[in-house]
Chains A and B, each alone.
Chain A
Amino acid sequence: MSCDQERHIADELALLLLDTMMAATPPEVPARYASVDSLQRLHADLIVLRDFIYAAANGDLSRQVPLAGYIGGALKTLQANLRHMTWQTKMVAAGDLTQRVDFMGAFSESFNAMLIQFDQTLKELVRKENELNKVNADLLNEIAIRKQTEATLRKSKEKMRKLALTDSLTGLYNRRYFNRLAKEAIIRALRYSRPLSIMVFDIDYFKQVNDTFGHNYGDLVLKEVAKVTREVLRSTDIPARYGGEEFIVLLYETPATEAAEVAERLRRQLEATTMVDSEIGPIKITASFGVSDDFGKIDENHGDRILSEFVTTADRAMYASKNSGRNKTTVYTSKSSPAAAFRSKNLIPNQASREQGPPQNQN
């Protein structure tokens, strides 16, 4: 074989191998070289390498490198590194930021720097979240304290309001609040021509209770009287302590005759009740009652004066009971009352008189 022939064959084989490496579709080994085993093997290995490199370049790291030796070994090392990095990335995704790459040159440095940055950022975020949580907890605590303070203030305000409206001993409404309610009731009764009564009652001989048993027992008696009164009265009736041992009741939508029946029930119950058991015996009392539904002049612009006259009529009836032997109910009536149409003609048994003159001072 001449030198030219040899050069030609070498050139042909070199082009075959170059095309096998570089062409999009690798050429087959020409038939005239089919019997050259080493060429067939080299060609087959290059095809395998092409396929492996192409697959790896497109992200498929699962293929086996079926070659040994320098190139095969280097590719296996590269494959092992990439697969290990994939596993490390999974670990990072699972929260392990301590993973470090140490086999990919500049990439390793960047990857590790990124993880360190992640780690620091995450720690900073956690720190800030903890701070926010703490601030949030402090705020919630502050809100809770303020709510508690508000609730305490509301309670205190309610207590003050109640104290302003009620009598501290008996728990009934006080005179001032009663007057306010009564004035409103009178105005409504006048405006709509509805019946309205006032009942006044005074404990008989209460001074003797104080003198005999002492003021502490006197207070207990007043409390018990208030308790019995609340129990006997209807839910719509408004009782109040008017002063000393005198009580007053506002009875909505009630003419004097019906108010007198209520007064009688209460009078009998007070008489029947043992107020207090003292060291020297049980304390029992009676009370004298006056009832009126006569609120006089029909002028709702003078509520104070009307109330005063209204209470005075009930007072006069109560003193009539006192003057006629006590432990009685007296009804005050007047033809001028707008509620007269609602009055019953029947008088109650203990009634002393239907209309009385000026009251006299006595217990």
Chain B
Amino acid sequence: MTDRKYKFAWELLGNIEKGRPNLGLSTRLEVYRLMHFTFRDILEQHLGTDKTDQILYEAGKLAGTEFFKNILSDIKIFNDFLKRLQETLRDFGIGILRVEEADMERGTLTLTISEDLDCSGLPELVDQVCTYDEGFLAGILESFTGSPFKVEEIDCWCTGDRTCRFKAEVIQ
């Protein structure tokens, strides 16, 4: 694609403090979810469920990659990385990350996110909706390890599980 209207860059998030001297850095969560799920709705109408999931996963992965590059890239030790990731996700209000398992020799992790930005508190639905989160975690893990990761949500608040559980595996 040669004539793109917008190619994401971290700088394009802008100077929020300067731009919002009165309203500040935060906004209400409904607004985020309003945008997220209306996008999902329209995308799904135009492209179907699978394509929509793919787009959200890729968008989340781009976000995770950029997030790592700009927030977490100074860490080199895996355990330090996990600890910092926990702190950062909490500080940013994204969710409370907990590690159930982390076996980097086999390249597998099981993570849970409570109070998740996307889905905690949602009414019970048939399908899991944290596709963007899957991509986000994949982008972060790939950026840290240098290996491609596949992340899949295996339990989700909105399917009645009260916490979101993700399984991450290195793609061999």
Contact = CB atoms under 8 A, between A and B. Distances in A.
B36 interface: no
Residue from B155, B160, B162, B163 having most chain A Cβ neighbours under 10 A:
B162
B79 interface: yes
A343 interface: no
B159 A68 contact: yes
Q: Is chain A's binding surface mostly helix, strand, loop or mixed?
A: helix
A84 B98 contact: yes
B88 interface: no
A243 interface: no
Interface string B76-100: 0001000100000000000000111
Contacts of A84: 98-100, 112
B133 to A, nearest CB: 15
Given A84-B112, A87-B101, A68 B161 contact: yes
B134 to A, nearest CB: 17
Interface in B88-142: 98-102, 110, 112, 114, 124
A100 to B, nearest CB: 10
Contacts of A83: 100-101, 110
Nearest to A96: B79
Given A68-B124, A96-B79, A81 B162 contact: no
B40 interface: no
A220 interface: no
Given A77-B114, A80-B163, A98 B83 contact: yes
Contact of B79 (A72, A73, A94): A94
A76 interface: yes
B100 A76 contact: no
A74 interface: yes
B160 A72 contact: yes
Contact of B165 (A70, A80, A86, A103): A80
Contacts of A69: 124, 160
Contact of A91 (B79, B100, B155): B79
B161 A76 contact: yes
B160 A73 contact: yes
Contacts of B162: 70, 73-74, 76-77
A251 to B, nearest CB: 83
Interface residues of B, number: 19
A62 to B, nearest CB: 10
Contacts of B99: 84, 87-88
Contacts of A96: 79, 83
Contact of B160 (A68, A80, A81, A86): A68
B83 A81 contact: no
Interface string A303-341: 000000000000000000000000000000000000000
B83 A87 contact: no
A86 B99 CA distance: 9
A94 to B, nearest CB: 7
Contacts of B157: 73
A67 B110 CA distance: 19
Interface string A54-73: 00000000000001111011
Interface string B132-172: 00000000000000000000000101011111010000000
A76 B79 contact: no
B81 to A, nearest CB: 12
Contacts of B112: 80, 84
Q: Which 6 A-B pairs rank lowest in CB-CB distance, beginning with the nearest?
A: A73-B162, A68-B160, A84-B98, A83-B100, A80-B112, A69-B160
Interface of B: 79, 83, 98-102, 110, 112, 114, 124, 155, 157, 159-163, 165
9 contacts: A68-B159, A68-B160, A72-B160, A72-B161, A77-B162, A80-B112, A80-B165, A83-B110, A84-B112
Interface of A: 67-70, 72-74, 76-77, 80-81, 83-84, 86-88, 91, 94, 96, 98, 103
Given A73-B161, A87-B101, A87-B102, 19 more contacts: A68-B160, A69-B124, A70-B162, A72-B160, A73-B157, A76-B161, A76-B162, A76-B165, A77-B163, A80-B100, A80-B114, A84-B98, A84-B99, A84-B100, A84-B112, A86-B100, A91-B79, A96-B83, A98-B83
